[in-house]
Amino acid sequence: MAVALKKLIEKIAHLDVVPVAGESGMDRPVTWIQMVESIEVSTFLEDDEIAIVTGISMKSSDELLPLVRVLDEKNASGIILNTGPYIDKVPQEVLDYCNDADLPFFTVPWRIRISEIMRILCYEITKEDQKNFQQSSAFKNAIFFPSQTELYMVPLSEYGYQTENPFTVAVVQIRKDREEKSDTIYERLDNLCFRLTFTLAHTFRKFSIFPYNEEIIAVMADYSAEQITKFIAALSHHIGDVLHEKQNEKYTIGVGKTTQSARCIYKSYRQAVTVCRLQYGGITKKGSVYYAEMGLYKLLMNIEDREVLEDYYAHTIKPLADYDSDHQTNLVAVLASYLFHNCSVQEAAEELFIHRNTVNYRLNKISELTHMDLSSQKSRLELQAGLMVKNIL
């Protein structure tokens, strides 16, 4: 993950590391530190890294500005210049550039050992990475191994979470129109989670965002309904910004019910995943992201024994789905349209662009396969429930 530049600089302030330009950019994230002595070496710099420069490979201080420009283009978090025999003073044009670009620039006297600065900074970043990893691991254990409370109750408490307080889980699923290598997907999700965490941390507290397979999971601790709404709005906004230029990608967000304690985080997660599935399938209204908005689906989501749902589906809708698969028909779609339009054959025919006689024929076939009388309200309710189960399985 990352640490705010301002927080890191505080750790080395006693070593006479002094900000001289670009101080308005002190809230930038930092992921690592690199020694950069030339434009050629700058190619190894990655986003959100601090560049440390001694000027040892420069013939004059005039070469510093071109390097600073390149470091800015490489999205450096900040620049630390070791002033001394190679560059004793920062040129004014460098200071002006950094102020205009909000790129933090620091100086440290030659007598200070750069190795000591790097040791402190690396330690702080590594410590933060370890904390985030252990925290996300605890939440994953709460989601996927809820009965093994020793795997998450104590670790979460150690990181300041009140485990007997409420938790709410949100899930983000990104859908793609093209195939993407798994390692590329995971790297992108890692980077996106890092960005989201760092950005949202300026406004929100007590939350964790981490990737799992091809999902992004966000856990909010002890948030009010209003805080949850604001958090989800901010989360959606920032994800939308990232995906704005990737026209082939869309995303859905699902938010589960707020739990009574950490022991029930897994329930909120499962509900959030189901909400995502219903959104993606067009079952729910666009923008309906909360478990509370799911109507009758809430009852089905709370059936923890999946075999119960699968058995109900097998005795209602599965015979129709199997027949459709074998005969290239659309009995499931006909049934769904017929029930959605309050059993109007005409409206179902118009929606499906088929003749009403075709609808009647297929309704008779549905009755035959399910052994249910569609004129019976009881049968219609059972089949409607079966379609809802199909949507969440």
pLDDT of residue 242: 74
Residues 142 and 275 in one domain: yes
Residue 87 has pLDDT above 60, yes or no: yes
- Whether residue 256 is contained in a domain is answered as yes
Do 258 and 147 fall into the same domain? yes
The domain that contains 26 carries what CATH number? 3.40.1390.20
> In percent, how much of the chain has pLDDT > 90?
70
Q: CA-to-CA distance for 31 and 46, rounded, in angstroms? A: 9
Q: Is there a contact between 297 and 381 (Cβ–Cβ < 8 Å)?
A: no
In a shared domain, residues 281 and 315: no
**Are 169 and 249 in a shared domain?**
yes
Within-domain flag for 120: no
**In a shared domain, residues 297 and 313:** no
Domain contains 121:
no
Split at pLDDT 50, 70, 90, the class of 3 is confident
Q: What is the pLDDT of residues 7-47, one digit of tens each?
A: 999 999 999 999 999 999 999 999 999 999 999 988 899 88
For residues 267 and 139, membership in a common domain is answered with yes
Degrees (nearest 5) of the Cα angle 352, 294, 379?
Answer: 55
Helix (H) or strand (E) holding 106, with range, is strand 105-109
- By CB atoms closer than 10 A (0-12, 13-18, 19+), residue 364 is exposed
Q: What digits encode the pLDDT tens for the residues 110-142? A: 999 999 999 999 999 999 999 989 999 999 999
**Range 136-140 contact pairs with CB under 8 angstroms and sequence separation of 24 or more:** 136/208, 136/210, 139/208, 139/210, 139/217, 139/219, 139/265, 140/210, 140/212, 140/217
Residue 306 in this model has a pLDDT that exceeds 90 = no
| Residue 183 pLDDT > 60 | no
Model pLDDT, residue 292:
83
Per the domain annotation, does 64 fall within a domain?
yes
Last residue of a domain, one of 245, 279, 302: 302
> Of the candidates 112, 142, 174, which is a domain's last residue?
112
Based on the fold, state whether residues 332 and 385 are members of the same structural domain. yes
Q: How many CA atoms lie within 13 A of 101 on its CB side?
A: 22
Verify that 285 and 383 share a domain, yes or no: no
Last residue of a domain, one of 272, 302, 332: 302
Whether 117 is covered by a domain: the verdict is no
pLDDT at position 162, please? Answer: 95
For residue 46, give Cα distances in angstroms to 3, 9, 76, 128, 233. Answer: 15, 19, 7, 19, 30
* CATH number of the domain encompassing residue 386: 1.10.10.2840
Residues 316 and 333 in one domain: yes
The answer to the question of residue 66 being in a domain is: yes
- Do 191 and 260 lie in a common domain? yes
The boundaries of the domain holding residue 10 are: 3-112
Q: How many domains does the chain have?
A: 3
- Answer yes or no: is 118 within a domain: no
92 shares its domain with 137: no
Q: Does the pTM of the predicted model rise above 0.75?
A: yes
Instruction: Tell me, yes or no, whether 289 and 327 share the same domain.
Output: no
- pLDDT, tens only, 239-278: 877 775 555 677 889 999 999 999 999 999 999 999 998 8
Sequence-distant (6+) residues with CB within 8 A of 312 are 385, 386, 389
> What secondary structure does DSSP assign to 35-70, as a single string?
E--STTGGGG--TTEEEEE--TT-SSGGGHHHHHHH
Which residues neighbour 12 within 8 Å (Cβ) at sequence distance 6 or greater?
117, 120, 121
pLDDT at 190: 85
Three-class secondary structure of residue 374 per DSSP? coil
Residues 174 and 193: beta-carbon distance below 8 Å: no
Which residues, 6 or more positions from 79, have their beta carbon under 8 angstroms from its beta carbon? 50, 51, 52, 53, 68, 71, 98, 103, 104, 105, 106
In a domain, 236, yes or no: yes
Q: How confident is the model at residue 181 (pLDDT cuts 50, 70, 90)?
A: low
